[in-house]
Chain A
Amino acid sequence: MTTSPEVQAQGTGTATDDDILLDVRGLKMYFPVSSGLVFQRTVAYIKAVDGVSFTVKRGETLGLVGESGCGKTTTGRCILQLYKPTEGQVIFEGQDLTSLSTRMMREKRREMQVIFQDPYSSLNPRMTAGNIIGEPLIVHGLVHGKAEYRERVADLLQNVGLNPYMADRFPHEFSGGQRQRIGVARALSVGPKFIVADEPVSALDVSIQAQIINLLEDLQEQFGLTYLFIAHDLSVVRHISDRVGVMYLGHMMELAERNEIYVNPIHPYTRALLSAVPIPDPIIDAQRERILLTGEVPSPLNPPSGCVFHPRCPIANDECTQHLPELREVEPNHWAACIRADGYGAF
């Protein structure tokens, strides 16, 4: 909290070049906690996102990983203005979305869409697949006449690997993987540039996950999409992302190129997270370094002082309990928020 958004924004390499599609600066989202039955007053804030800055380049996939409650989903929703951020800027193609009116924001949503986690609860059970996919076309006035509408819906279904004749079916007639394809088609319908994919495969079976991941990659190539890919599965995030950000308790802990962060993790939290992922091969898995974190993620209602990770950190010292470390460029294009980031080897 001691670092101002400006400082952090510089920290994440804000260039004014055209290849930056989205620039998030000092994003904060506090949810009020109120008490009292009649006279409600705010007694505390849940600091879901507490000063996060990053940029997303055109055509890339930025992965956001972290455990539940780390603020990754809230960050995604703040970007789409589904939540009104408490503080900070969300600059999309040079325009600050936080300052737009509802009406202007609605226009903007044609360019930014979302794919939700649960394909069971995010599709209206009373609408046919065709109408779910086609509704945004009508809302945004993108089609004229029934023939064009039907043609567009059929195209979209084909784009995501479904048959056009399935347009008349209802969500319950589809399997989980197929439903997620409908969710993807709906997001694609308005021709967006940017898609926030919030845990798009975690509700699916393993063999189906790979199908959806391949689909998302194909579509990215085909339509030149930019993704913010939010997930808790580190192997999936490594596969799909160009760069990866690791979040913990509302803060960005580490941000680097995909290979860099997996091969050379700097932040102790990233290291522990990576070592906790079991590898599906008993021999290799047995040989891996294992860092078992003690304790659990503290409540965002009352986050620890200083570095929010210090109560669980194996290398924390006194200074960590007092100062919130800034996200800084430890190595070229490799950012970490840890004061002990350089100068320690094994721990």
Chain B
Amino acid sequence: MAELLQVRDLRTYFYTFEGVVKAVDGVSYELEEGETLGLVGESGCGKSVSALSVMRLIPDPPGKIVDGEILFEDDDILKIDMDDMRQIRGGKISMVFQEPMTSLNPVLTVEKQLTETLQLHMGMNREESRREGVDLLARVGIPDPERRIKQYPHQFSGGMRQRVMIAMALSCNPKLIIADEPTTALDVTIQAQILELMKSLTSEFGVALIVITHNLGVVARYADRVNIMYAGKVIERGTAQEIYANPRHPYTVGLLNSVPRLDLPRRAKLDPIEGQPPDLVNLAPGCSFRDRCRWAVDKCATESPPLMSTGEGHWSACWRIEEMEGLVEEYRNDRIRDAVAEAAEGATGDGS
């Protein structure tokens, strides 16, 4: 399939009083047409900044894209002028933000906000755009769209507002939608509705989707491929199945094992990743994860590992990549042994 988006060695830095924050530091990935990519990481890992860079929405100053290429349909987004960029933004690439309340304008009706992009990008007149707007609202599952389109954002609930955001994002038949934590602010049952809606609409219209999230479960359910980010770098990349079944980076292994899971028997103790994420201003040389890594070796302190292939369509940035399969296996066996011991203890303890 054709490559829709290619990000090559992207570096976005923020120049602050404390020093240079290397929010995104050498990120590369591709996205095919119609594909869903999950960008996963904790707060401050650079996942939002790397997506905002694609839209060229980095506040300057203090931020600056200092290096790299972003090829969208073979044009380098970073080289085109602002007028052309405005055509792409909201036209070919659109965005869904985390907070539907703060990203909709409270003093304008939904109609005004929804039809604005249609009039700008599609050259529709008022009547046409209104009809199209009603259509869009109906398509994202808002009941009674004729009446609802005249209302203000505060008259919508959180889930309904997010539907409006999705309608806006879809309005100009984009090629790519970037969704930044689209469901984090929503309740679990509403989350499921919104994700299901995004999935069905993107596959119906063949739109590629980048979902930025910290929720591993959301990615497992909806992404084709996954980028795991840590301290401004992609540290593991592969298909969702591969990443979850055969994680090949210690951070991914830690992340997957630190969350309690509904489908597995309950463990007496969780296995957290110890320590804190590093300060992006004073990044020491070497691998940024080594202080928290259970398998760090001397080399990790001196040289930063590049992304290396570890199988078909699967990359990991770890110096011990060759041994990782064995290490993960051993770690899993240890955990299973602990679980069995726990269960045995529990059984004798209960007397059952």
Q: Which residues of A does B touch, CB under 8 Å?
A: 67-68, 175, 177-178, 205-211, 213-214, 217, 232, 234-236, 238-239, 258-259, 262, 272-274, 276-286, 288, 290, 292-294, 296-297
Contact = CB atoms under 8 A, between A and B. Distances in A.
Contact of A280 (B157, B196, B220, B270): B220
A276 B192 contact: yes
9 contacts: A67-B187, A67-B190, A214-B272, A238-B260, A280-B216, A280-B256, A281-B263, A293-B192, A297-B187
Contacts of B214: 205-206
Contact of B189 (A206, A239, A276, A278): A276
B306 interface: no
Nearest to A68: B187
B209 interface: no
B258 A274 contact: no
Contacts of A217: 269
A206 B263 contact: no
Given A205-B43, A285-B220, A235 B260 contact: yes
Interface residues of B, number: 45
Contacts of B105: none
Interface in B231-275: 240-241, 244-245, 254-256, 258-263, 266-267, 269-274
Interface in B135-161: 157, 159-160
B339 to A, nearest CB: 14
Contact of A211 (B193, B196, B215, B272): B272
Contacts of A209: 258-259, 272
B276 interface: yes
A239 B264 CA distance: 11
Given A207-B272, A209-B272, 7 more contacts: A207-B42, A210-B259, A210-B272, A258-B266, A262-B262, A272-B189, A284-B263
Contact of B259 (A272, A273, A280): A280
A210 B262 contact: no
B220 A282 contact: yes
Interface centre among A236, A262, A274, A277, by most chain B C-beta atoms within 10 angstroms, is A277
B263 A273 contact: no
Contacts of B219: 280
A293 B192 CA distance: 9
B2 interface: no
Contacts of B160: 296
A207 B273 contact: yes
Nearest to A279: B263
Contacts of A294: 193
Interface in B64-99: none
B254 A239 contact: no
A176 B344 CA distance: 37
Contact of A232 (B188, B255, B261, B277): B188
B218 interface: yes
Interface centre among B244, B245, B267, by most chain A C-beta atoms within 10 angstroms, is B244
B335 interface: no
B113 interface: no
A274 B43 contact: no
Nearest to B279: A175
B221 A205 contact: no
B157 A234 contact: no
B217 interface: yes
